[in-house]
Structures are given as structure tokens and as C-alpha cells.
Chains A and B, each alone.
Chain A
């Protein structure tokens, strides 16, 4: 996994609550058997005026001028700012892969849906929860200031604004450690293979029906 330490990037304001994973990456793109290439279809239904299908040349489609990703002001942004319950709905990790492939490295919102939140860490995308009032302040600042950037420091668990304000966020110590070091979860878990085997042996005694196949 790619490590996350610090990030300074332009902010893209997506002023919507309950942004679901169907909106982040619509279902027709889930037919891919790869992990990459989803970026051009991030927010596909909102981003283009004409319907999209896998394999289309997106450069020939009509962009929706009212959608924030098509606003030249926010081009090259790497931090997405959104409202509450971001990433609700389906468990598709393709949503995280699409954000990542587009170049988003962190999402700031007042709350996230559990599965999306969990999935983000697996691809080195940092979901940051800030208060509603802090998020409001950031929305106001980013819309008022062209080229508005933030600096995120995972070690310090802080988001710094150009005006010198610092907003602190929570992150589980274990997740933070894995993200800072870019550690592979599976490799870490397999270091405990003996403990898993011991648990399994004990369970086979206690609840043998859990191990009986058809």
C-alpha cells in the first residue's frame, strides 16, 4: 500500500450530503476486473451530460459545466471536501479506486459511511472527519479563494489552512501506523498465522458444526 505522511493540495468542494458510492462510480464501470482506470469515470453521471459506458472515449463526451470537477478553478485538486455521510451505499471499493485514480488523496467530511471509511485506508486514501462548523468554514474559504490549498499532516493529525488555522482529527493508532508506513495488511496478519491456527483448533472443538461442509 502507498504510504500517507503529509499532503499539500488544492481543495475541491463538493457541496452535497449523502454522496453514495453509486454516484462516485456508477455500476456499469464495476464490470472491470482491474483495480485501475476508474478516474475518468469518477462521478460519471454528474460529470458528463451524456450517458457513459465502459470503453467510451471520455474526451469526446459532453462535460457538465455546472459540476465542480469540470470547473477549471479546481483542476488538479487532491483533497475533496464534502458533506455528511460521504460514501454511503454499496461496499464497492471501486469508489476508492476511482477517487485515487483521479488523484484524490484525502476526503474531508463531517462523517463517512463505515464501509467506505474502512476501504479508504486499504488504498492509502485518508478520510478525515472534521466538525460541521469546521467543514462549513472550509467550504466558505475554498469558494471565496481561488487556488485554496490545505496541508494535511497525518503524524500530527492536523489539517492546516493557508490563514494559519489548524483543525485536528482522530485516527485509530493502528490504522495510522499502517498508513504512515504503507504496510500490507495481509502480510501483517499472516505474522499471526499460529494464533489463527490455534483459534481454529479451539473452535473446531467448541463448535464443530461451523466446520462441516455439505
Chain B
């Protein structure tokens, strides 16, 4: 019999019971909650007279609707305010820990979980948000769920699940300088497509993945959902353990020692079988820029916008034509000739300290180009913001002409006041370039923080390796 994959191990450790068809009741260790996908779940509990099963497993924060400008006057949009106040009230009534808007620990749910050590190896982690795949970077089984499932987990501490298939993406060799986890993620999506991971849990492995920091691994797992996989995974190693040690929610003393010993098993066995394996040569990966309205519409920065007429698949060619029309681009145009209007550095994909350092290193001593109307940096949490300020990164950004904002999801999905106007083009470190994602009619190009910073200075996309 062959060995187990990391996903198999995590799955097996959490099955409470199974139905005949393989549908399992899976126990959930950590439930992260935010304001957008939870109000109807709490309402459902209330209507049925049910209570949360284990409140100490739940951690809540408002992130999608919060303003990134001065917060002293609260939220001006009454609809956004009501949603955040509803979360505050639900957490109060049901005795759930919440980092409120004035708390330094507040931030994007997928930044604060790991930052607090609330995400641990070997856990099952869920949240009513598709980018929950981020937490798989810690060797945790983590994925997004819908609101009905949020209610189900609150009420039962379990989730009804069918097991996914196993995929391994091995990124072998070393990436070139200037090539980041974001570029690896986009290169993987270019290879397998936005639906390539559907039905799978993807384990990222190989030398280039092992070499990534926890921040980089989080970026990679965050984007697993953009490849269609609900869960991304990276095996636990010393990098994982070093990151977690001493964090507020991480175990302490003898419990820490016992946990670290148990985590040594959180990797795929040598002889484990994968249903699909993809191997990517790290040395071949160049800085990536999306040109269309799906993350798979991506090319290296030194290429041109592709031609739909050269695409044999009719449905795909039609999608490409629609995307080019929406994006206001012509086939054959070099990526480096695309001028931008706005720059957004932030989101659960790229708003951690390492991301801000990478962007600051590029803009230091330079200035945002005249044609760029707005360049903003939105740290992932209050603690990331504080650390960046201690390192002087805020001053580098401000001197270069960037706005330095308060933490939240911000212009990744534009639920607050931060958004693109119709036709505006943005270099964005976020995760989705869908039509209207950053504001109706807005045009999003996904890039790494260093590439976004370089584009801000140049006013158009440039190859950060030559910048």
C-alpha cells in the first residue's frame, strides 16, 4: 500500500463519521469569521434557537467594508456600517472574540489568522471566504465555505465534505532575482488554467517552494483558489515553526514542544500517490502580468498581449475577444507599453511585511509617475502597518507619492470607498482581475508588489529585473 499525501493525513485526522457515498463529517479546528458572509448565518442560528458549538474556535474581524482612511468618524456608508455593527453585535451576543476596527490587531482575516498564530499546522481552518486557502501554507487543511456552511460550522463544529483528489505542483530549481511567490502562483495558473485545480487539493512542493518565506507560501496558497482548487498546501518545515513560535495563539512551553513533535509528520510520504502531478522549472518563470479578465489570462512581462485568432478553442477565443474589448487592449501590444492610472498594493495575497519591503525597495528614492492618479499601500493588518512604520517603509512610500492607508481588503474588491472608476487601469497586487472586480468598468492587471511598485514609478508596466 502506498503512503499518504499531506492532504490524506489532514483529512483522515478530522473525519468524525462517513456516509456510505463517502460524504464525511469533518471536524473544524479554527473558524474565521468576517462581516460579509456571516450575518445570515448568525440569523439562521437565532431563528432555529441554536448556539455556537465551540466559541473558542472562532475568531472574527471586519475587513471587507472598513474604511482605509481616517477611522475616527467611523464608517460613513450606512449600509457598510450596518454590516460591521451586525458583526460586532453577533460577536457580543454569542461571546465570540472579535478584533474590532479600533484594535491594532484588526486586519484582513487571512493576514491576522497566521499573524496571531491562530492558524496552526495540522488544523482544519474554514472561513466564509474563498481565499481561506491561504492558511494551507502552514500545513493546515484550509478552504473557503459559503454562508450556509458558516452556519453549519457554528452550530456543529463540523462540515459535510466529499474528499478532493490529490494534486502536487512541484516548482523545481531556483527562481531568478525579481521573481516572487506571486509570479510562481500566476505561472502555475497559466500552466493548469483557472479550472485546472477544480476538485483537487493542491500541494505545492519543490526547491523553489521550500525556499519561500511563510509570506511567500501564503501568497502561493492564497492563489490556489484562482487555479480552481479550494485548498492549497505546503508541508511543515523549520520555516513554518520559526514563523509561529511565540505568536499569541500559538501553544507555549511543553504544549509547544509536543505540537512541534507532532507536526514533523505533516508532509506527504515518499511513496504517496498523487492523482495529478505538474512540474514547473523555476528558472523559466519570469515576472507575470495579467492582460485579461481571468487570472489564467497572464503572460510574462516581456511578452505581448496574445491574439485570439491564434487560439484554436472557439469558447476560449471568444472569452479572449471579450476580455480584450473590456480591457481596452489590442492583440500584439507589448505588455510594457500598457500605461496605468492607479496602483494598489495590498489584499490577502500581498499585504504582508515582506510584500511591503519588496515594494519599498523598488520605490525608494524614486517618485510615482505623473500619469498615475493614485498609488496606494494598504497594509494587511494594524500590526503589519506598525512594523512597516518602525522600519520607515511608510516614509519611503509617502515620499514617493503613495498614500499610506489603514488595513483592510480595500480595492481588492472595492466594497469600501476605494475603487476604480470606469475605464481606469490598475496595477494591482490582488488576486482577481474579473470584470468590475475593483469597480464597475475598472481594468485590473495582477502583478507582484515589486512589479506594481515599478509600474507606479514608470507609469506603465516594466520588467522589475531591469529596473
Residues of A bordering B, CB below 8 Å? 15-18, 20, 22-23, 26-28, 30-35, 45, 51, 54-55, 83-85, 88-94, 96, 111-115, 118-119, 122-123, 172-175, 185-186, 189-190, 192-193, 195-196, 199-200, 203, 207-214
Of the candidate stretches B78-86, B212-220, B275-283, B392-400, the one touching chain A is: B78-86
17 intermolecular pairs with C-beta atoms under 8 Å apart = A17-B315, A23-B434, A23-B435, A31-B65, A33-B43, A88-B228, A91-B145, A113-B195, A114-B230, A115-B144, A119-B146, A189-B155, A193-B156, A195-B25, A196-B53, A209-B256, A211-B56
CB distance from A176 to the nearest CB of B (A): 9
Q: Please judge, given known A-B contacts A27-B415, A31-B415, A213-B56, whether A122 and B195 are in contact too, CB under 8 Å.
A: no
Does B16 contact A18, Cβ atoms closer than 8 Å? no
CB distance from A24 to the nearest CB of B (A): 11
A193 to B17, CA, bound (A): 11
Does B123 contact A172, Cβ atoms closer than 8 Å? no
CB distance from A192 to the nearest CB of B (A): 6
Give the contacts of B431-461 with A (CB-CB under 8 A).
432, 434-437, 440
17 additional contacts, CB 8 Å, given A31-B83, A91-B129?
Answer: A22-B436, A23-B435, A30-B36, A33-B40, A85-B228, A88-B194, A115-B143, A119-B147, A173-B19, A173-B21, A196-B27, A207-B259, A208-B258, A209-B258, A210-B122, A214-B116, A214-B249
Q: Please judge, given known A-B contacts A91-B130, A203-B27, A209-B251, whether A85 and B195 are in contact too, CB under 8 Å.
A: yes
Q: Please judge, given known A-B contacts A28-B415, A196-B156, whether A118 and B440 are in contact too, CB under 8 Å.
A: no
Q: Please judge, given known A-B contacts A35-B40, A85-B228, A200-B27, whether A192 and B17 are in contact too, CB under 8 Å.
A: yes
A122 to B80, CA, bound (A): 26
Give the number of residue pairs across the A-B interface with Cβ within 8 Å.
Answer: 195
Which 3 A-B pairs have CB atoms at the shortest separation, nearest pair first? A122-B148, A93-B146, A119-B146
CB distance from A29 to the nearest CB of B (A): 10
B152 close to chain A: CB less than 8 A: yes
A185 — which chain B residues lie within 8 A by C-beta?
148, 152, 160
B241 close to chain A: CB less than 8 A: no
Does A190 contact B258, Cβ atoms closer than 8 Å? no
Q: Please judge, given known A-B contacts A113-B195, A209-B259, whether A83 and B315 are in contact too, CB under 8 Å.
A: yes
A173 — which chain B residues lie within 8 A by C-beta?
19-21
A32 to B78, CA, bound (A): 11
Nearest-CB residue, chain A, relative to B144? A91
Partner of A186, one of B64, B152, B195, B318: B152
Q: Please judge, given known A-B contacts A18-B194, A31-B80, A209-B120, whether A186 and B48 are in contact too, CB under 8 Å.
A: yes
Does A189 contact B436, Cβ atoms closer than 8 Å? no
B255 close to chain A: CB less than 8 A: yes
Partner of B255, one of A172, A189, A208: A208
Does A196 contact B16, Cβ atoms closer than 8 Å? yes
Partner of B37, one of A15, A83, A92: A92
CB distance from A135 to the nearest CB of B (A): 10
B54 — which chain A residues lie within 8 A by C-beta?
200
B157 close to chain A: CB less than 8 A: yes
1/0 contact trace for B156-199 toward A, CB 8 Å? 11101010100000000000000000000000000000110011
B423 close to chain A: CB less than 8 A: no
Q: Please judge, given known A-B contacts A113-B198, A189-B158, whether A33 and B39 are in contact too, CB under 8 Å.
A: yes
A96 to B252, CA, bound (A): 43
A200 — which chain B residues lie within 8 A by C-beta?
27, 54, 157
Partner of A214, one of B248, B255, B256, B319: B248
Q: Please judge, given known A-B contacts A96-B146, A118-B146, A209-B255, whether A27 and B414 are in contact too, CB under 8 Å.
A: yes
B151 close to chain A: CB less than 8 A: yes
B8 close to chain A: CB less than 8 A: no
A30 — which chain B residues lie within 8 A by C-beta?
36, 64, 415
Does A186 contact B156, Cβ atoms closer than 8 Å? yes
